[in-house]
Amino acid sequence: MSSAQKIRVAVIGASGYTGADLVRLAYAHPNMEIVALTANSHAGKPMEAVFPHLSGLGLPGLVTNDEVDWSGVDAAFCGLPHATSQQVIKVLPEHLKIVDMSADFRLRNPETYRQWYGNEHAALDLQADAVYGLTEHYRDQIAGARLVACPGCYPTAVLMLLLPLVAAGLIDASDLVIDAKSGVSGAGRALKQNTLFCEAGEGMGPYSIGKHRHAPEIEQELSLAAGREVIVNFTPHLVPMSRGEFITAYARLAPGKTAGDCHDVLAERYDDEAFVNMAPDGVMPATQLVRGSNRVMMGVVPDRIEGRVVLLSTLDNLVKGSAGQAVQNFNLMFGLPEATGLEQVTLFP
């Protein structure tokens, strides 16, 4: 593909946080031309009426999906809620390449989807062909895919950290405790009592203990790496910040293995990756060190309990945890350099 060629893209569900961040990244992408923005509840409005920070960019107005002339679109990013995405995507023209940021195509087993999301999958033929979009681990499959299912923000942070260690047999996959924390944007933009400033500010608390829908996604991928069923202890927490995600995972080391071995395997596995790095010596990963970027920063610390290790991972939930990874996958699908449009460094402080 020519470096000057423009790919015409639509953002479905552009009025949500992930949709807006996708628009922000797409606008600056040298190979993307935004030709359609959809948001049913805000149809008829200019994008800047919903997100004033995107004013002055000459963006198309918000319309319904039915109003889009799909013959003039090459690729679609979908940022709709679960159960809605599958209904929309299944009727899109076959010439479109699609990057879905919802949960609808992440789970390979339709029964697992029904169990955790409470409804039968409405696009099983598409689900069977969808590629799981954890870019650094499935890039070959992503490059040839028509439909890519971007991982959830928590699974991205967890799996980037744990997959290499489980695959190498360095940690016991049957003894994993994952403490996860996310900024409030991870709960979406819809009005909810628990995300009101007075409810979420100046405090922190867990939610969906033992029943968070990202757990089966994490288990699906870790089970593939381990070659057997893996069940994890996963507890998410809501933190009073707008964006950011932090994972602290506690694991039992395999006999004879050390925290140093874990560090070395992670460092080697991601040595050539543009968006994944180990924290520098003497530095602990922190959300403010990746904010606004498409980066994952990781760390490894020996536990004071013999034979155990503490594993750390952080990312921006709206970028590498969603829109940034979606753009990364888009680049692969269209044969572009993977980092195109994602070169921004961390916003600090």
E strand intervals along the chain: 7-12, 32-38, 62-63, 75-78, 97-100, 131-132, 147-149, 171-183, 205-206, 233-239, 245-253, 276-278, 296-302, 308-315
CA neighbor of 347 nearest in space, from 322, 327, 318: 318
CA neighbor of 171 nearest in space, from 308, 7, 346: 308
Find out whether 316 and 261 touch, Cβ atoms under 8 Å. no
Tell how strand 97-100 and strand 75-78 pair up: parallel
Residues 6+ apart with CB under 8 A from 17: 185, 188, 189, 318
Among the options 78, 153, 198, 262, which is catalytic? 153
Please confirm, yes or no, whether 153 is among the known catalytic residues.
yes
Measured CA to CA, the distance from residue 47 to residue 146 in angstroms comes to 28
Q: Which residues are catalytic?
A: 153
